[in-house]
Amino acid sequence: MSAPARRGRRPGSPDTRAAILVEARALFSAQGYAGTSVRAVAAAASVDAALVHHYFGTKDELFLAALEMPVDPRQLVAPVVEGGPEGAAERFLAIFLAAWDDPELRPALLAVARGVMDPAGSKLLTEGFLPVVIQPIGVALGLDRPEHRMTLVASQVAGIILLRYVLAVEPLASMPQDQLVATYAPTLQRYLTGRLP
């Protein structure tokens, strides 16, 4: 392990940290999560891999930092997993809506959503956010066919994000949270635990 200090930069230097993030975002966008190593990010930013770990922790954490999520989605959804499969859809929707409807979080979440819908950033979603954050929820809940089921969940949640938050289509944009939960929970619970073809 080389000491970060040998490069003459303070470990906490905002410039170095920002430079690593820029390279991480570029590599994750171009090559997906699996195709990007911490070592490659470090090389692109001309720093030691140990420095990347020092700033960001694991590769998962580097990925989430590169996405510029304003909250750690894995912490956020922990109560969904802890409660088990029953009622998981309702708990997920309540947490999801509370985050998106928080005026301090929404601008950053919107920026993430617009970024991953852009063709240049789409691998951040398809080969990053979905396998790193979404599909592990299905695995942790002990679902059969977790990837299949969580992709169905994602297909409804993506539509809610697009219509309610990105495009602000009424009556979805103004619908109270409890009405949204009651509307969408049966759909998501069937995708999680129902009989599917």
Binding site for a copy of itself (CB under 8 A): 114, 117, 119, 122, 125-126, 130, 147-148, 151-152, 154-160, 162-164, 166-172, 178-179, 182-183, 186-187, 190, 196-197
Least spacing, CB of residue 27 vs a copy of itself, in Å: 19
Among residues 94 and 172, whose Cβ is nearest to a copy of itself? 172
Among residues 14 and 119, whose Cβ is nearest to a copy of itself? 119
Mapped to the 3 state alphabet, what secondary structure does the chain carry?
A: CCCHHHHCCCCCCHHHHHHHHHHHHHHHHHHCCCCCCHHHHHHHCCCCHHHHHHHHCCHHHHHHHHHCCCCCHHHHCHHHHHCCCCCHHHHHHHHHHHHHCCCCCHHHHHHHHHHHHCHHHHHHHHHHHHHHHHHHHHHHCCCCCHHHHHHHHHHHHHHHHHHHHHCCCCCCCCCCHHHHHHHHHHHHHHHHHCCCC
Least spacing, CB of residue 146 vs a copy of itself, in Å: 11
Among residues 2 and 126, whose Cβ is nearest to a copy of itself? 126
Least spacing, CB of residue 24 vs a copy of itself, in Å: 21
Among residues 104 and 170, whose Cβ is nearest to a copy of itself? 170
Least spacing, CB of residue 194 vs a copy of itself, in Å: 8
